[in-house]
Homo-oligomer: A and B are copies of this chain.
Amino acid sequence: MRYSKQRELVMQQVEALQDHPTAEEIYENAVKQCPGLSLGTVYRNLNSLVEAGRIRRVPIPGQADRFDHTLRWHSHLYCTECGEVSDVMLDGTMLQGLLKDQQAEIKDCVMTLLGRCPRCVGAAEQKAAPVQPEE
């Protein structure tokens, strides 16, 4: 990955705006320091930074993705009242307690695991070729 002023600026903004900004918010702040910057470039750079593992993507169901400078594993609480997204430190054993938490009022939990299903893992073991490989 080659250096670019725009990418470093995007990286800086994700670090500066600690409140899980959207691409749009990052753009609005970054364009002040780099007039002419385009939203498309912000999206492209967010994608490469996520791919490079320098930032994390935080998908909020039904809304624009948000981005997070914190790399360590954690969940997010989207407040259905004020719309704020806050960090929730969570490592498995804490989940059960969390769901009964007194402070936050958890109404629902949207969790999607990404990985390979048992069928694909099994297929790879046996033939080193996956079931229905795609793009």
Contact = CB atoms under 8 A, between A and B. Distances in A.
Interface string A70-81: 000101111111
Contacts of A92: 92-93, 95-99
Contact of A116 (B62, B88, B105, B132): B105
- Could you say how many copies of this chain the assembly holds? 2
Nearest to A95: B92
Contact of A83 (B76, B77, B113, B134): B134
Interface string A48-72: 0000000001111110010000000
A66 B114 CA distance: 15
Majority SS at the chain A contact face: mixed
A79 B58 CA distance: 19
A111 B108 contact: no
B114 A111 contact: no
